[in-house]
Chain A
């Protein structure tokens, strides 16, 4: 990711490709930490900022001309979260920077799910929206427009391509399979067996879809209670869990038991009895070795899926999604061009003004020098000469002004502006 420093949009951050999970966890910012972090980078010279922080990425989107102090602040801010003996380069070691059009393209790819760990996942779009909402006060007009269009790009990619089709992780495949049974998952109830990371991640996926995780059962009560509190559920022991198979819609099993814990003897009568009244029960067995006795699937309304089943669903979706990458990238490029044209157009009026001032200054200086040499001229002649110099300047500037304005209107303003600024040594626009 490279670029020149003339325009002021940039992104600096880390993601799942550049930093391991334990580092990403340290860099992740909670909602309450965002305003403080942005205030620091704004104080370092940024004129606008948005902080996008998810479990897979922490990225500062910034607007400003003076690169170095702002980026130094970003790396310092992230570096403070590293343990006592960080890598030699500090946070920068894990990070990347993209500038200008590359930064725009980067955000568009993020919003489209092209840069996600799970290709095409849709959660990121909500996270981009949340980041924008949270940083509204500091974003400024350029980043407002950038994030607004990024959400539009995400929607376009998901509508016009199959990038968001299916589901691409075992946990989200579980959600998809449950969705094929129940339709809308909002308001459904779930029982979680096990309290490890996998159980928690899958429970969070269910919770994100509106499923009410009501019970968390585990051999160790303390661990169950910790997860239950986070999910707003009740912690129970494994033995207390069996009767609840009569009422819940989804049972998610991920214990570390070396053998099946959900056996026919324990739940067969509970599920097969009249209490369920034919209501379907979706059992997602994410444990290896499996937690659920396969014979449970013989019960009429039980839909049992193990890790292999869910990985099959996920693999199918990933393969299909890969075919959609070119189409999605095309949309990203189109939209990045449009944004860049808009952004280029922003600088036209100040650039023309600055160019005119610069050349008028030269004209006035040269005229004064010439008039000093021609001291014999009458006031009338002097006035004629001044008029002539102004007319000449106007003639010279007429074509470039028209060309810049029309290029901006046609969405080609940025390239021409860059050329004018470089040719006449103008300052970058605010």
Chain B
């Protein structure tokens, strides 16, 4: 059942991504209602699927990340009054869900600690923080693409379909500023959870997980600091967001390669 629901969500996200990209392939843009309704339906199915998962392991983590990304995409549709975020978020969420299916989503053996409310909150907030960081990355990428088109006086599909620069800049700032407290709380809850279950047979936490979690928190903190304290905006802030997100991704891949296995997020 979990796999079937994930496959349905995967298909709907894939369809939504294809519709978002249709104008770039010479097709007429799909009606806005359809562009919103399809990922909405996918997210509804996905929520049902995730509610049956134990949030332990790579597959469930990726699945939750994909869901958060789709929900943030839908929220930003409203903020931007356009579907540009779906150009990136759609394929990214589809890809993450595909990876989750490949990594395996069968329910893990019941681990008492994984049902603990602090653990669930830790996972939810950390994934939300990461998703917001991904959203900031997407907004930054869209910003740089639109910036390049406007500077080069090209008035093609990017000019027509992408949102205005300032709105993308605002979305980037919002995602970073909202993502940092979420991730901070996620990290703090992990520390509290670790202390509570120390020596009681809780979930095993590898050092790599701690290193990556803290590294991500520091990087996100830095991008927020340059935006809020140093007042970086526009292109410079977009580049900082992209650099930060890429660094987090690279460190994750590097750590994952040194410690393979799907049983843990890292």
Contact = CB atoms under 8 A, between A and B. Distances in A.
Interface of A: 166, 177, 179-183, 277-278, 280, 297, 300-301, 303, 305, 309, 312-313, 316
Contact of A183 (B159, B160, B164, B231): B164
Contacts of A316: 155
Given A166-B160, A309-B153, A183 B234 contact: no
A180 B235 CA distance: 15
Contact of B167 (A177, A183, A278): A183
B163 interface: yes
B233 interface: yes
Contact of B165 (A180, A297, A300, A309): A180
B150 interface: yes
Contact of B155 (A278, A297, A312): A312
Q: Interface residues of B: mostly helix, strand, loop or mixed? A: helix
Contacts, number: 43
Contact of B159 (A180, A182, A278, A301): A180
Contacts of B165: 180-183, 280
Contacts of B236: 278
Contact of B150 (A166, A180, A277, A278): A180
Contacts of A183: 163-167, 170
A303 B166 contact: no
Interface residues of B, number: 18
Contacts of B163: 183
The 8 A-B pairs of least Cβ separation, nearest first, read: A183-B164, A183-B167, A183-B166, A309-B153, A313-B155, A180-B164, A181-B165, A182-B166
B207 interface: no
B146 A180 contact: yes
Contacts of A305: 153
Contacts of B159: 180
B234 A179 contact: no
Nearest to B163: A183
A280 B153 CA distance: 15
B231 A303 contact: no
A157 to B, nearest CB: 15
Contacts of A179: 164
B155 to A, nearest CB: 5
A258 to B, nearest CB: 24
B150 A303 contact: yes
B151 interface: yes
Nearest to A304: B153
A303 B234 CA distance: 13
A180 B159 CA distance: 8
B160 A303 contact: no
8 contacts: A180-B150, A181-B166, A183-B163, A183-B165, A183-B166, A277-B231, A277-B233, A280-B234
Given A278-B236, A305-B153, A312-B155, A181 B231 contact: no
B141 to A, nearest CB: 17
A182 B153 contact: no
Given A181-B150, A278-B236, 14 more contacts: A166-B160, A181-B166, A182-B164, A182-B165, A183-B166, A277-B231, A280-B166, A280-B234, A297-B151, A300-B235, A303-B151, A312-B153, A312-B155, A316-B155
A299 B44 CA distance: 47
Contacts of A180: 146, 150, 159, 164-165
Contacts of B164: 179-183
Nearest to B153: A309
A296 B41 CA distance: 49
B235 to A, nearest CB: 7
Interface in B159-200: 159-160, 163-167, 170
Nearest to A298: B151
A217 to B, nearest CB: 25
Nearest to B165: A181
Interface string B131-170: 0000000000000001000110101000110011111001
Nearest to B80: A183
A47 B236 CA distance: 65
Contacts of A303: 150-151
Given A166-B160, A180-B146, A180-B159, A301 B234 contact: yes
